């Protein structure tokens, strides 16, 4: 199963980490798309390090990150700097989507 996690606030970091690790432990894949104020999490290594886990794909809306003045210099290359297209791909590919 592919689990999508749509992150549009910066209030649930521990939940995103816990859900991601629990899904991976059960053999699932995880797709994370970040937008709106959720892009503030991109400045937190605890969040972006999820991209290094096997089975996790991460992307974010560059328009939102730029608008909020997010420092993108520390974001790992594996995290795709994208657009709402990446959100649409996640919605299409994921079997279930959680919104946080």
Q: Retrieve residue 75's tokens.
A: 């974001």
Break the chain into its structural domains and give their ranges.
2-99
Residue 55: phi and psi, rounded to 5, are: 100, 5
Q: What is the pLDDT of residue 11?
A: 97
Per-residue pLDDT of the chain (100 residues; tens, 9 = 90+): 999 999 999 999 999 999 999 999 999 999 999 999 999 999 999 999 999 999 999 999 999 999 999 999 999 999 999 999 999 999 999 999 999 9
What are the b/e assignments for 30-52, b being 16+ CB within 10 Å?
Answer: bbbbbbbebbbbbbeeebbebbe
Q: What is the pLDDT of residue 72?
A: 94
CATH code reported for the domain at 2-99: 3.40.1260.10
Q: Supply the pTM of this predicted model.
A: 0.96
Q: Retrieve residue 68's tokens.
A: 């909020």
């Amino acid at each position: 199963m592919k689990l999508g996690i749509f992150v549009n606030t910066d209030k649930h970091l521990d939940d995103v980490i816990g859900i991601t690790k629990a899904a991976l432990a059960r053999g699932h894949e995880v797709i994370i798309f970040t937008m709106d104020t959720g892009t503030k999490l991109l400045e937190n290594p605890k969040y972006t390090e999820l991209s290094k886990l096997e089975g996790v794909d991460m992307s974010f809306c560059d328009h939102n990150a730029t608008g909020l003045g997010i420092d993108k210099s520390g974001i790992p290359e594996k995290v795709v700097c994208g657009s709402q297209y990446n959100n649409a791909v996640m919605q299409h590919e994921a079997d279930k989507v959680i919104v946080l």
